[in-house]
Structure 1
Amino acid sequence: MAVKDSQTEQQIKDAARKLFFTEGRFNATTQEIADAAGVNRTLVNYYFRSRDLLFDQILREARATMDMRLEMAMSTETSFRKKIEHFIDIFMEQAFTYPYLDTYMVTRINEDVEKQNEIITDLKKTERLKNFLRDIEAEIKKGTIEKMEPVQFLISLISLLSHPVVIQPLFKKLFQYSDRQYKQMLLARKEIILKMLFK
């Protein structure tokens, strides 16, 4: 049996990540992944056993990277508003790198109860969500945020960020935006979102 080469494995993952999450080709075949990686199709199966297992692995890695960066941003010793600014920056950076990642996540969550349970379990295992809701509640008491349930603030933040990313193919056509124009519009949303969420 051939010895697995980490460089080839990474090459396959990078190609699949680009096809799935940068180009939005969720139905890309094993052969298309192999062609994009410049390897034989049998190597994709050798390293990952199936296209779906490869998909799951790169999704897990993308989520883990995002979670780690958000954890670092939210744990810094700075004001709550600055933490939210960091949160928005990280979210936007990922959206520009992988514009179809959120679309895939939403699709997968809606059609897969097991995936819903996995995400809920992951969130329950960490204290980050509870701490974040406590931070929101503290800011409401300070008067920097309108009085509301902390969950409403969190849902508003995520919705304001993710909806324009998920719906971007439609919005680009509707408003006749180029990729560059749409990116500029998304970047301009940072200040708009902050003004909407904070007093």
Structure 2
Amino acid sequence: MAVKDSVTEAQIKEAAKKLFFREGRFKATTQEIADAAGVNRTLVNYYFRSRDQLFDQVLKDARDSVDSRMNKSMETAKSFREKLELFIDFFLEQSFNYPYLDLYMLSRINDDVDKQNEIISNLKKTERLKHFLKDIEDEMKKGTIETMPPVQFFFNLMSLLTYPMIMQSLFKKILNYSDKQYRQLMMERRELILKILLRKG
């Protein structure tokens, strides 16, 4: 058997990521992944042993990439507003690039206890949320945002962001919007969310 080639491996992973998380084809077969990557099906099994292992690997890579970039950017933000803007921008970017990623995670949490424990464990390891909640509390003390339990502010933020993105496939059909039009709508919503959450800012 030939020595594994990192370029071919990355090619297969990118094709799988597109099928799974951009097109929502969670049940894509090994053959369909191979076709999308332009390789022989045996190579997919050679590099990843099984479709499920490939699925888990591309999920981890997608989450790690977003988390790494978000952490670096959040660290450079000087004000709470900048952090909020960066958070919204990264969330929208991820949702447009991989519109089915969060839906997949939710389905795995509901259907697979082992995967649920793994995802929750990984989320608990990050300190970003704790720091963000502390920043929210500090801003409330400054009077720049309405006083409430910090987690409620976070829930408001996520609620304003997630529903239009999770439902984007349906909304685009109902509204007869193109991908470009819906993206523009969400970028306009970005400013609306900031106005809603930073009433005193």
- Aligned match of 2:127: 127
1:100 offset after TM fit, Å? 1.7
Moved more, 71-80 or 128-137: 71-80
- Aligned match of 1:29: 29
Runs of 4+ in 1 over 4 A off after TM superposition: none
**Letter aligned with residue 132 of structure 1:** F
| Aligned residues of 1:102 and 1:165 also touching (Cα < 8 A) | no
| Aligned residues of 1:73 and 1:87 also touching (Cα < 8 A) | no
User: Can you give the 5+ residue segments of structure 1 that lack an aligned partner in the other structure?
Assistant: none
Q: CA RMSD in A?
A: 1.3
Give the Cα–Cα distance (whole angstroms) in 2 for the partners of residues 62 and 177 of structure 1.
27
Taking only the aligned residue pairs, the percentage that are identical comes to: 67
Give the Cα–Cα distance (whole angstroms) in 1 for the partners of residues 191 and 56 of structure 2.
34
2:170 is the alignment partner of 1:190:
no
**Letter aligned with residue 71 of structure 2:** E
| Aligned residues of 1:136 and 1:150 also touching (Cα < 8 A) | yes
1:27 offset after TM fit, Å? 1.0
- Aligned match of 2:163: 163
| Structure 1 residues 109-162: Cα deviation after superposition (integer angstroms, max 9, x where no partner) | 222222232222223223222111111110111111111111111122122212
1:77 offset after TM fit, Å? 4.4
User: Can you give the 5+ residue segments of structure 2 that lack an aligned partner in the other structure?
Assistant: none
SS of match in other structure, 1:134: helix
SS of match in other structure, 2:25: coil
Give the Cα–Cα distance (whole angstroms) in 1 for the partners of residues 61 and 179 of structure 2.
26
How many equivalent pairs are there? 199
Moved more, 113-122 or 3-12: 113-122
1:164 offset after TM fit, Å? 1.1
Matches within 5 A, 1:37-56: 37-56=37-56
Give the Cα–Cα distance (whole angstroms) in 2 for the partners of residues 55 and 70 of structure 1.
23
**Letter aligned with residue 76 of structure 2:** T
Give the Cα–Cα distance (whole angstroms) in 2 for the partners of residues 126 and 107 of structure 1.
22
- Aligned match of 1:59: 59
**Letter aligned with residue 105 of structure 1:** M
